[in-house]
């Protein structure tokens, strides 16, 4: 699985967990991310839908392939 696909899958899994009623702090521990990250993923999903789960384009040097 490509790196970007894995990130989106992880974020979708977190959103799904929230939908199923899991607590944000439980999901943060399970996925090894901060509680702030959980809320950031949720807010981006709420604002942009599934398109918000991917990384945004950044300025600067492009990463190596």
Provide the pLDDT for residue 27.
97
pLDDT at 65: 65
How much is the pLDDT for 4? 78
CB-CB contact of 18 with 24 (8 Å): yes
pLDDT score of 2 more than 70: no
pLDDT per residue as tens digits for the range 6-59: 999 999 999 999 999 999 999 999 999 999 999 999 999 999 998 888 888 778
Residue 7 · residue 55 · CB < 8 Å: yes
d(CA 62, CA 46): 28
Tell me, what's the pLDDT at 17? 97
């Amino acid at each position: 699985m490509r790196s970007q696909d894995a990130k989106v899958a992880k974020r979708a899994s977190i959103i799904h967990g929230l939908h199923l009623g899991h607590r944000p702090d439980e999901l943060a521990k399970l996925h090894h991310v901060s509680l702030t990250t959980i809320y950031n993923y949720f807010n981006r999903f709420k604002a942009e839908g599934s398109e918000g789960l991917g990384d945004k384009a950044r300025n600067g040097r492009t990463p190596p392939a």
